[in-house]
């Protein structure tokens, strides 16, 4: 079991594929060459920087720095959730709802895994804490963004049907229940599908990475199973919090539908 | 009965109003003047100021769903949340109401998508009537109906009013107000004006 390092020249050969795609775009008039170049440059620069930052943070092994990195990751994830909404919540909720749900669910699940199952010493060892949080955050972010956008587009689309029920004396929970349930289902679906397809259709990235690094496949698989459990746990909790919080904000204590707290759909 | 004390719908001056049991108030006024805003404010569907009362139930002292079962708003555009008609009906027997509004009793088993606009309008009224509210807030309840169906709706409403139900109805039809024996109020220029003083019967 050996680990094969990559040189800059190896990467340059790989980059030929990007150049080929760019040429294709030029010759077919796809007009994606600009975005392709920008995305490629961003990816290379971002990952290179992250490599240096992680190396530094791993060497420091300080809970303060680990926490700071975790904080930055959550801030970006919260921003990403807000950016993926067609109809954004007004005010701080737009950004804060997803970020709060992720802070709570992802941190809880990560700390649980670090203190009980993986147990590095110390438990906040950044070599474990940061990749773990990254995987949990990245996946639950997708679920939370999907769940929230299903909720907001649902209440906006079904306004008349929801208000018809409110008019007849239904509570806000009863009138919006079906939409909230479908939002939670939608948010959970990608992870449930990923679990069902894992190993057959797709080899999960983390497991693949461990195998490439020389870890025996059975050992890597065990890690991957644990990660899947953690991701599903964090996604479920995060989606539930987001949908419940979103519904609370989009209605009020007098059981009114408050679409005035929702921005217009973005024109795209 | 329905009494409004300094009710402040958005964009309208405060409204004070008292309607007896069995009274009818017909609201008219140009489009966009705030007729629907007024009804929605009474039903507490939008933020508004002031308070309202019906048969010693004070709006600010009960939960909104309780208030809306006693003071029931029927919007101009009816909303449907299930596939089949009967899923929208509250407890009670809609049969007699279907008969008196010229609807087929079998329509309860139909898909909502099959209903015409006029059928939807009458069924939306029926599901509100089944709650047996003290006050009905009706937003153009006969706008999609022919003369025969309009007459049927007015007969049912008159019957309810004789039984003590108070009716607030938005209508563009001055004769409809007369047929229902209603006091007329005009919404315009940001305020609600009763054409005869006081209100009531």
Q: What pLDDT does B174 receive?
A: 86
Where are chain A's structural domains?
1-60, 63-261
Q: Please list every residue in chain A whose beta carbon sits closer than 8 Å to the beta carbon of residue B128.
A: 167-168
Please tell me if residue B59 touches chain A, with a CB cutoff of 8 Å: no
Where are chain B's structural domains?
2-78+136-194
Q: Percentage of chain A surpassing pLDDT 90?
A: 84
Compute the mean pLDDT over every residue in chain A, rounded to the nearest whole number. Answer: 93
Q: Please list every residue in chain A whose beta carbon sits closer than 8 Å to the beta carbon of residue B69.
A: 168-169
Average pLDDT rounded to a whole number, residues B158-183: 94
Average pLDDT rounded to a whole number, residues A27-31: 90
Q: What pLDDT does A1 receive?
A: 53
Distance, in Å, from the CA atom of B32 to the CA atom of B187, rounded to the nearest integer, reads 10
Q: Which residue of B has its CA nearest to A177?
A: B81
Q: What pLDDT does A61 receive?
A: 87
C-alpha to C-alpha distances, A80 to A46, A77, A85, nearest whole angstrom: 16, 5, 9
> Shortest Cα distance from A25 to chain B (angstroms)?
47
Q: Percentage of chain B surpassing pLDDT 90?
A: 90
Q: What pLDDT does B148 receive?
A: 96
Cα B185 to chain centroid, rounded: 15
Nearest to A172 by CA among A186, A193, A155, A189: A155
A256/B44 CB distance under 8 A:
yes
pLDDT tens per residue, range B108-156: 999 999 999 999 999 999 999 999 999 999 999 999 999 999 999 999 9
Contacts of A131 (CB under 8 A, 6+ apart): A206
pLDDT confidence band for A174 (50 / 70 / 90):
very high
Query: Taking 90 as the threshold, does the pLDDT of residue B196 lie above it?
Result: no
Please tell me if residue A164 touches chain B, with a CB cutoff of 8 Å: yes
Closest by Cβ to B45, choosing from A170, A178, A256: A256
pLDDT tens per residue, range A141-165: 999 999 999 999 999 999 999 999 9
3-state DSSP call for residue B2?
strand
Beta strands B24-28 and B191-194 are: unpaired
Q: What is the ipTM, given to two decimal places?
A: 0.95
The structural architecture, per CATH, of the domain B2-78+136-194 is: 3-Layer(aba) Sandwich (3.40)
Whether the Cβ atoms of residue A81 and residue A138 lie closer than 8 Å to each other:
no
Centre a 10 Å sphere on the Cβ of residue B156 and count the other Cβ atoms it contains.
18
Q: Please list every residue in chain A whose beta carbon sits closer than 8 Å to the beta carbon of residue B68.
A: 166-169, 255
Closest by Cβ to A168, choosing from B44, B46, B128: B128
Report residue A196 as tokens. 């069902």
Q: What pLDDT does B161 receive?
A: 97
Q: What pLDDT does A3 receive?
A: 81
| Backbone angle region of A174, left / alpha / beta, with phi > 0 → left and psi within -120 to 50 → alpha | alpha
Q: Please list every residue in chain A whose beta carbon sits closer than 8 Å to the beta carbon of residue B131.
A: 168-169
Whether the Cβ atoms of residue A180 and residue A151 lie closer than 8 Å to each other:
yes
pLDDT tens per residue, range B53-98: 999 999 999 999 999 999 999 999 999 999 999 999 999 999 999 9
Average pLDDT rounded to a whole number, residues A199-220: 89
Q: What pLDDT does B172 receive?
A: 87
Q: What pLDDT does B116 receive?
A: 96
Distance, in Å, from the CA atom of A215 to the CA atom of A207, rounded to the nearest integer, reads 9
Q: What pLDDT does B201 receive?
A: 39
Q: Please list every residue in chain B whose beta carbon sits closer than 8 Å to the beta carbon of residue A178.
A: 81
pLDDT confidence band for B199 (50 / 70 / 90):
very low
A169/B66 CB distance under 8 A:
yes
């Amino acid at each position: 079991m050996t680990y094969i390092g990559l040189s800059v020249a190896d990467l340059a050969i790989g980059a030929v594929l990007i150049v080929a795609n760019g040429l294709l775009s030029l010759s077919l008039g796809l007009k994606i060459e600009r975005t392709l170049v920008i995305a490629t440059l961003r990816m290379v620069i971002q990952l290179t920087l992250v490599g240096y930052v992680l190396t530094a943070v791993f060497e420091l092994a300080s809970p303060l720095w680990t926490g700071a990195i975790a904080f930055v990751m959550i801030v970006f994830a919260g921003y990403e959730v807000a950016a993926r909404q067609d109809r954004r919540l007004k005010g701080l909720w737009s950004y804060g709802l997803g970020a709060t749900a992720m802070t709570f669910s992802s941190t809880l699940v990560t700390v649980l895994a670090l203190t009980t199952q993986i147990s590095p010493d110390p438990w906040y060892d950044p070599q474990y804490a940061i990749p773990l949080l990254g995987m949990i955050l990245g996946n639950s972010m997708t679920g939370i963004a999907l769940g929230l956008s299903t909720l907001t587009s649902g209440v906006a689309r079904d306004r008349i049907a929801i208000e018809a029920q409110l008019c007849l004396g239904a509570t806000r929970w009863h009138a919006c229940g079906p939409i909230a349930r479908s939002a939670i289902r939608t948010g959970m679906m990608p992870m449930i599908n990923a679990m069902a397809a894992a190993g057959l259709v797709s080899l999960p990235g983390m497991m693949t990475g461990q195998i490439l690094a020389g870890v025996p496949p059975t050992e890597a698989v065990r890690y991957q199973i644990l990660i899947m459990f953690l991701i599903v746990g964090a996604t479920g909790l995060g989606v539930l919090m987001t949908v419940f919080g979103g519904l609370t904000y989009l209605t009020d204590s007098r059981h009114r539908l408050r679409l005035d707290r929702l921005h217009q759909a973005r024109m795209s | 009965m329905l009494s409004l004390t300094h009710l402040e719908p958005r964009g309208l001056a405060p409204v004070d109003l008292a309607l007896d049991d069995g009274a009818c108030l017909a609201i008219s006024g140009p489009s966009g003047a705030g007729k629907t805003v007024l009804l929605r404010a009474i039903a507490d569907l939008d933020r508004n100021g002031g308070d309202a009362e019906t048969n010693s139930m004070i709006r600010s002292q009960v939960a909104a769903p309780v208030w809306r079962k006693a003071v029931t708003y029927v919007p101009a555009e009816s909303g449907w949340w299930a596939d089949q008609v009967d899923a929208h009906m509250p407890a009670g027997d809609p049969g007699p109401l279907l008969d008196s509004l010229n609807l087929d009793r079998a329509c309860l088993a139909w898909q909502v998508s099959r209903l015409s606009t006029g059928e939807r309008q009458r069924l939306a009224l029926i599901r509100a009537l089944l709650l047996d509210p003290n006050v009905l807030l009706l937003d153009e309840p006969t706008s999609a109906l022919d003369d025969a169906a309009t007459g049927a709706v007015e007969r049912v409403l008159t019957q309810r009013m004789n039984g003590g139900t108070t009716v607030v109805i938005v209508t563009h039809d001055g004769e409809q107000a007369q047929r229902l024996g209603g006091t007329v109020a005009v919404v315009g220029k940001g305020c609600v004006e009763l054409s005869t003083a006081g209100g009531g019967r």
